[in-house]
A = this chain, B = another copy of it.
Amino acid sequence: MKDISWESYRIFLDVARQGGLTGAAQAIGLSPATVGRRVLQLEEAIGRALFLRSQTGYRLTGEGQALYERLLGMEAIARGVESWRQEGQGTSTVRVMAGTWVTWLVCENMSAICTGKDPFRLDLSVSERRATLTHREVDVGLRAVEPTEPALISRPAGDVAYAPYRRKNAGDALADRWLAVSEEDAVSAYLRWPHERTGNSVAVIVSRPRSLLDLVRSGAGQAVLPCFVGDLDPDLERAGEEIRELRHHQWIVANSEDRHRRDIRTVSDRLFRLLKSHGDLFAGKRPSRT
């Protein structure tokens, strides 16, 4: 049986992402005609319909979606190879993976991590699930559990505390209006907590943790947030005590084989300093700020 060309996987990913042949063709550097033919071949080889075709573009079918999710992993590794390739070439890219909120904090303080003067680019990817550093998908990761793999080096970066938050002066009207992410997206303990502990009083469900903050600010209800997020927002107040069972440590992790790479080391160090300087906030000690 003839194997499926890996190249068609890459083409498939681009078509799925761009939502059509034209965009994908541009992204890859082929003609739309060819891209269409390759997708057709792939569907033939897989034996399933991957796209819903229309005059306006391509949309993934359910099975297409399933394939897409699997192939994202391949793409991540390919990106890893690409940045490995760049190492010798002068320009380098450091790929950092973190959860929603640490990413948010890093964005707010980007100048502390990477400036125009640095000889590297930063590739920040958000993911609640654990990055597989062993496969080198990313160079630096933030984790809530200490890695056991000896191929990884980790540095403890303090505690993270969680508490429920609501809009200031909202009173107790929101007491049983919890905001949560959908159960299939609830990949961390603090995201699962509302489902497990509030007894079906989840009023609004969103798919991204980031939306929780927006909802709380709009006064739609209360949500569990990391203290460093909630306490930093002048429009929010705690709707209760810290939820101690959610408290966890935090580690900065890197592949030990990359120890020598200066840029990775730099990013890792600066990340460490950033987290350290916000240590009290992370730990929920509520320093008085604006």
Interface band, chain A:
35 or more
Binary interface encoding of chain A residues 69-96 relative to chain B, with 1 for a CB under 8 A from any of its CBs, else 0? 0110110011011101100110000000
Binds B, one of A52-60, A147-155, A201-209: A147-155
Q: CA A151 – CA B69 in complex, angstroms?
A: 13
Residue of B nearest to A48 (CB): B88
A70:B135 contact, CB within 8 angstroms: yes
Number of copies of this protein chain within its complex: 2
For window 168-193 of A, CB contacts with B under 8 Å fall at: 186-187, 192
Residue of B nearest to A191 (CB): B150
Partner of A192, one of B2, B135, B150: B150
B6:A47 contact, CB within 8 angstroms: no
Q: CA A85 – CA B28 in complex, angstroms?
A: 25
Partner of A77, one of B71, B88, B186: B71
Known contacts A74-B78, A132-B135; 8 additional CB pairs below 8 A are A3-B10, A3-B29, A5-B7, A5-B10, A6-B74, A66-B84, A73-B136, A150-B192
> 28 A-B residue contacts at CB 8 Å?
A3-B28, A3-B82, A4-B82, A4-B85, A5-B10, A6-B6, A6-B7, A6-B9, A9-B81, A45-B85, A47-B89, A48-B85, A70-B77, A70-B80, A70-B136, A73-B132, A73-B135, A73-B136, A73-B137, A77-B77, A129-B149, A129-B151, A130-B134, A132-B132, A149-B187, A150-B187, A150-B192, A151-B187
Chain A to chain B: the 5 pairs with minimum beta-carbon distance, closest first: A73-B135, A6-B6, A7-B7, A73-B77, A6-B10
